[in-house]
Structures are given as structure tokens and as C-alpha cells.
Amino acid sequence: MANSRFNDGPGPSQRQLRVGELLRRRLSEVLQRGDIHDPDLNRLSLTVGEVRCSPDLKVATAFVLPLAGKGQEDALKILSRNKGEIRRQVSKGLNLKYAPEMRFRLDETFDRMDDTRRLFDQDEVRRDTDE
């Protein structure tokens, strides 16, 4: 599973989790306020579900989803086109040694939850879980 958000090794450190949450909040603020000078980006309504940091904190992967899940590929293109300015704006005011390189991926968490709900609604699965 090369596209998986989860690693086979040990989970992220407390530091990675803390910095990831700090970056998630800051990225959400930057996108909400429209701090990036791109009208296409400012028209988007994005949810930032999670930000995962590499162990050295130099790369941050933001998992995003456009409102109602529409225009996902376009949203990723627009974010990638503006990643330099996003990196600068997100890093402003944060006390980090390095401004992490920003990468953007689609947040598939909601799709997985829907798949899980459908699975649990199947008669044979419900029969097994009720026992």
C-alpha cells in the first residue's frame, strides 16, 4: 500500500504529532483568511483533516478535502501551484528551525468511514457482530 497514510514501522513521535497539529491549524487559518494571492485558491473551501510530518520535520503532508468533495484534483493542482507561498505563510510566526516543504494529498478518511459503514450494514457481517 504505497499510498497509505500509515507506515508499517513505529508511529509518529510526539514531536511529529505536535508539529503536525500546529501546522494543520496554521494552514487552516491561512486558507480561511485568504492570505495566498491566488483567486482560484481563495474561492476554494477546504478542510484540512491532518498534517503529517517526516521524522526530520522538513516535509509536511497535508491531507485536504474540498467542501462536498467536489473538484478534488483541481484543488490539489491549485494547492501545488501555490505551495511556495503557502509554505512561507504557514511558517510565519511559528518557531520552527526549518519551514517544512508542503505536500498535499486528498483526505480519504471520510470515504473509508463510508466503506466501513457499508460493510457493517451487510447482513452476514451484522450476523457475525451480533453474536
pLDDT band at 1; cut points 50, 70, 90: very low
Closest CA to 44 of 84, 76, 91: 76
Measured CA angle at 11 (ends 69, 31), to 5 deg:
35
Class of domain 14-130: alpha beta
Give pLDDT tens digits for 98-131: 999 999 999 987 555 555 566 666 667 667 666 6
Q: Is the full-model pTM beyond 0.85?
A: no
Helix (H, G, I), strand (E, B) or coil at 116: helix
* Domain boundaries along the sequence of the chain: 14-130
Helices marked H in the chain:
14-33, 39-43, 72-81, 83-91, 109-121, 123-130
Region at 49 (left for phi over 0; alpha for psi -120 to 50; beta for the rest): alpha
pLDDT band at 2 (very low <50, low <70, confident <90, very high): very low
Contact criterion met (CB below 8 Å) for 46 and 64? yes
- What local confidence, expressed as pLDDT, does residue 24 receive? 97
pLDDT band of 3, cuts 50, 70, 90: very low
Helix axes 14-33, 83-91, angle to 10 degrees: 110
What residue type is assigned to position 2 of the chain? Answer: A
The arithmetic mean of pLDDT across residues 31-37, rounded, is 93
Distance in angstroms (rounded) separating the CA atoms of residues 52 and 104? 10
